[in-house]
Chain A
Amino acid sequence: MSLQVKAPEPLKAVEKTQTVRRGRSLSARRTGAGYVMSAPALLFLGATMLFPLAYNFWTSVHDVAIGDLITGDWQFSGADNYDSVVSEGAFWHAMRISLVFTAGSLFFQFTIGFALALLFAKTFPLAGLFRSLMLVAWLLPPIVSGTLFRWMLDADAGAYNELLRLVGLDSLAHNWLTDPSTALPGVIAANIWVGVPFNMLLLLVGLQSIDPTLYEAAEIDGAGPWQRLRHITVPMMKPVSAAVLLLGLIYTFKVFDLVFVLTGGGPVDSTRVLPLYVYEVAFKLFQLGRGAAAGALLLVIPLIVAIVYVRRLRKEGAAS
C-alpha cells in the first residue's frame, strides 16, 4: 500500500495502453486512457480521504480508547459515542463559540471586504500595489498570523493597545487574549484580518464584471452615487456575495490553527471552537470513539452548506 511509489506512474501507464490498444477506435481508446489517467489520483484520494472518512465513521460507532488500538479489541457501541458527545455541555459550548466566531468573522470580513472592493474598483495610482500588499496578510501561515496577533494584543507593549492609548481609550487597553470576556473578540479580530483580503479580492472580481454601461445609463437618468450603489451594485453583486459568504462560512467553521496558537481555546474555554474540541477529545484525551463522533458532528454544518452551495452552482450552470 505504498502510496509514494504510485505517484509518478500516470504518464508511463498511458503509454502502455496506447501501444496495446492501437487497433481500437479513437474514443474507446480515450475512455480507457481516461480511467488510467484518473487512477493514481483516485487511488490516492481513496486511501487518504474516503477511507479515513469511512474509518472515522466506523470508529464513531465503537468504544475505542488508545489502548484498544493496539489490542484491536473494539466493542460495537451503536450511537453511544454520539449520545455521550451530544449530552456533554462542553460540546454545545464549543458549538456556540464556533457559531459566534463564524458569524462575527463573516460579518466583518464581508462588510470590510466589500467596502475595500468598492474602493479598489476605482482607478487610482498604486491601487495594484496596495491590493497585493494586503493579500500577503491572507497568504501568511495562520500560525504566523496568530503569533503576530498575540503580540499585537499584548497588554503593555502590544501595538493595538498603544494605539488605543494614543486616541485616549486607555480603559480598553489590556491583554485581550487572557481576559475571558475579550478573548473571543480578540480571536475574531485576528480572523477578520486574515479573511478581509480574500473577501475583497473575490468581491472585486465581481464588481469588475458588472457592465459599466449600466452605471452610465443610471447617471444619465440622474441617479446619484448612493442610488447607483443601492440599485445597481448591490443587486448585481448578489450571486458573487452569496458564493463568497458560503465559502467564508465553510472556511471559517473549520479554523483550527489560528485559534490554537492565539489562545489554545482558553482562557476558561472562552475561545474553544468546535475543531479545537474535536482535537482535544481525540488527541488529548485519546477517546478515539468519542473523538470520531465529535468529528462527524463537526462535518454536519459544512455539509449542509455544501449542499446549498453545489445546488447554487448547478442552478448557475443551468442558467448560463
Chain B
Amino acid sequence: MTRTERPWLLTLVAGVITAFFLLPLYWMIATSLKKPDQVLVSPPQWIPSPFTGESYSRALDKPMLGQALLNSVVISLGVVALTLLLAVPLTYAVARIRMRGSGAMVLSLLVAQLLPSIVLAAPLFIVLRQVELTNTLIGLVIADTTLTLPFAVIVLRPLVRAMPVEVEEAALVDGCGLPGVLWRVVLPIMRPGLIAIGGFSFLLGWGEFVFGITLNSDPKVQPVTVLLNTFVGQTGTDWGPLMAVATLVSIPVVCVFAMLQRYIVGGLTAGSVKS
C-alpha cells in the first residue's frame, strides 16, 4: 500500500499482537510439557520447568487414541481422494462444456456450502444406514466429502476457465482424445488448485466433528476429534494429557499448512471472494 518509514517498529507491534493472539496455542504446548502437578498451580508457570513428556506418555496410554488418530488419517486421505476424483471431471464439465443446466449446477453448489452439517446429519444417517455404511470409515469419508466437493468445484472452476481454449483444441487436433487432453493439458494447469483442494480437504476431514459424532457410534471407527471431545467430558480437569492430545491433533494441521501454505491461501481467497 504505502511505503513505511520505520518498518521495525511495525514488526514490533505486529509481533506483540501475534504473540498475544497465539497465546492459547503456546499455552496448549506449554501445559502439555509440564509436570502434571505443576499444571494447576496458581499463579501458573509461564514456562514449564522442568520440561517433561509425562503428559504425552499418559495420553498415549489411553485406549483408542492410536486407533482414533489412525482413523482420522484414513478418513482425511479418503476425503482428499474422493473429493478430487469427483470434483475434477465435474469442474471441467461445468467450466468448459456447453451443457444445459450448468449455470444452475454452479448456483446450487454455492448454496450447498450454506447447509449446516447438523441438518444434513439426520437424513444422511438414514441414507447411510440403507447401504450399511453407518459406523464405517467409508461412511464418514462420504459424509465429509459433501462439505468439500462444492467448495472444490467453486475454487477450481476459475482456473479451468482462465485456460485458453486454443491449447486444448491444439491438443485435440494433434490427435489427443478428450481423456488425453484432460490428463496431459488440463490436469497440469489445474495443479495449484488441486494441491489447494487436496490440502483443504485433508484439513477438513481431519477436523470434522458433526458427522463423526452423529453417523458413528462404534468407538473403533471414531475420528480423533470425537475422542478428544470424550476426553474433555471425562477428564475435565486432567489438563496435561488433554493438552498433549490437542497438541498431537494440531501437529498434522501445522505440517500440512506449512507445506501447502501458498496454495491453500491462494485457493481460499479465490474461492471466497471472487468465484
Contacts and interface: CB of A to CB of B under 8 A. Distances in A.
Contact of A291 (B15, B43, B122): B122
Interface residues of A, number: 114
A157 B98 contact: no
B31 interface: yes
Contact of A141 (B44, B113, B130, B253): B253
Contact of A130 (B14, B25, B239): B14
Nearest to B116: A254
A196 to B, nearest CB: 7
A38 B91 CA distance: 8
B116 A299 contact: yes
A305 B39 CA distance: 45
27 contacts: A3-B133, A15-B177, A27-B98, A33-B93, A34-B93, A34-B99, A41-B87, A48-B120, A48-B124, A49-B120, A56-B119, A116-B17, A119-B10, A125-B7, A133-B18, A134-B22, A136-B253, A143-B228, A144-B225, A147-B228, A147-B242, A148-B24, A159-B27, A256-B209, A282-B122, A291-B122, A310-B110
B57 to A, nearest CB: 20
B24 A193 contact: yes
B1 interface: yes
A283 B18 CA distance: 40
Interface in B89-114: 89-90, 92-94, 96-99, 102, 105, 107, 110-114
Contacts of B138: 4
Interface in B14-30: 14-15, 17-18, 21-25, 27-28
B167 interface: no
B163 interface: no
A257 interface: yes
A10 B208 CA distance: 27
Interface of A: 1-4, 7-8, 10-11, 14-15, 18, 26-27, 29-31, 33-35, 37-38, 40-42, 44-45, 47-49, 51-53, 55-56, 59, 69, 116, 119-127, 130, 132-137, 139-152, 154, 156-157, 159, 162, 165, 193, 196, 201-202, 205-208, 210, 212, 215, 240, 243-244, 247, 250, 253-254, 256-257, 260-261, 275, 278-279, 282-283, 288, 291-292, 295-296, 298-299, 302-303, 305-306, 309-310, 313
Given A1-B131, A37-B93, A295-B116, 15 more contacts: A35-B93, A37-B89, A44-B142, A47-B127, A48-B146, A122-B7, A122-B10, A136-B25, A139-B203, A139-B253, A151-B27, A154-B239, A202-B273, A261-B229, A279-B118
Nearest to A165: B43
- Identify the interface centre among A26, A130, A296, A299: most chain B CB within 10 Å of its CB: A130
Contact of A3 (B119, B142, B177, B228): B142
A102 B174 CA distance: 56
DSSP class of B's interface residues: helix, strand, loop or mixed? helix
Contacts of A55: 123, 126-127
Contacts of B28: 148, 151
A164 B102 CA distance: 55
- Identify the interface centre among A7, A26, A34: most chain B CB within 10 Å of its CB: A34
A140 B39 CA distance: 23
B170 interface: no
Given A44-B149, A48-B142, A298-B119, A136 B254 contact: yes
A2 B132 CA distance: 9
Interface stretch (B48-56, B189-197, B261-269): B261-269
Given A40-B86, A127-B14, A140 B114 contact: no
B13 interface: yes
B122 A250 contact: no
A139 to B, nearest CB: 5
B2 to A, nearest CB: 6
- Identify the interface centre among B82, B131, B207, B253: most chain A CB within 10 Å of its CB: B207
Interface in B222-275: 225, 228-229, 232, 239, 242-243, 246, 249-250, 253-254, 257, 261, 265, 268-269, 272-273, 275
Nearest to A286: B122
A201 to B, nearest CB: 6
Contacts of B124: 48, 52
Interface in B126-155: 126-127, 130-131, 133, 138, 142-143, 145-146, 149-150, 153
B253 A41 contact: no
B41 interface: yes
Contacts of B228: 143-144, 147, 261
A202 to B, nearest CB: 6
B11 A124 contact: yes
Contacts of A215: 1-2
A151 B239 contact: yes
Given A196-B21, A243-B272, A44 B86 contact: yes
B164 interface: no
A143 B272 contact: no
Given A137-B22, A141-B249, A38 B90 contact: yes
Contacts of A162: 42-44
A53 B88 CA distance: 25
A207 B1 contact: yes
B185 interface: no
A227 to B, nearest CB: 14
